[in-house]
Amino acid sequence: RKEVEQDPGPFNVPEGATVAFNCTYSNSASQSFFWYRQDCRKEPKLLMSVYSSGNEDGRFTAQLNRASQYISLLIRDSKLSDSATYLCVVNDGSRNAGNMLTFGGGTRLMVKP
């Protein structure tokens, strides 16, 4: 089993739709969680951190479920510009400092007019 797993997609949704992605992680001791966004042929950029109580940033909502070991990203009112790959990142505090962050393979989102 991969340490961080994501459905690769693609998720094809119309503009204005609500879409949600899940990401599961295997290490129950994982300490912090992030969503990064990566546009085609570009570098990843931090979208948002994921807090235990859940957090919202505009149209984006991130949630953490420690019992089931997954995090989620909800995007409301999808825009064409939301089309990208969304990377789930988990901080496994038990490893060497450099290797603490484990990246999922990403979920590709395509928003259509």
Partner 1 sequence: GAGVSQSPSNKVTEKGKDVELRCDPISGHTALYWYRQSLGQGLEFLIYFQGNSAPDKSGLPSDRFSAERTGGSVSTLTIQRTQQEDSAVYLCASSWGTPGEKLFFGSGTQLSVL
* Residues in touch with partner 1 (CB under 8 A): 4, 8, 31-32, 34, 42-46, 49, 87, 91, 93, 96-101, 103-106
Nearer to partner 1, 45 or 77 (CB): 45
Q: How far is the CB of 31 from partner 1 (least distance, A)?
A: 7
Give CA–CA dist 5/79, Å, rounded.
25
Using CA atoms, how far residue 34 sits from 12, 14, 68, in Å, is 23, 25, 17
Nearer to partner 1, 39 or 77 (CB): 39
Q: How far is the CB of 14 from partner 1 (least distance, A)?
A: 25
| H helices, E strands: number in the chain | 0, 11
Nearer to partner 1, 36 or 75 (CB): 36
Phi, psi of 76 (to 5 degrees): -100, 155
Q: How far is the CB of 62 from partner 1 (least distance, A)?
A: 14
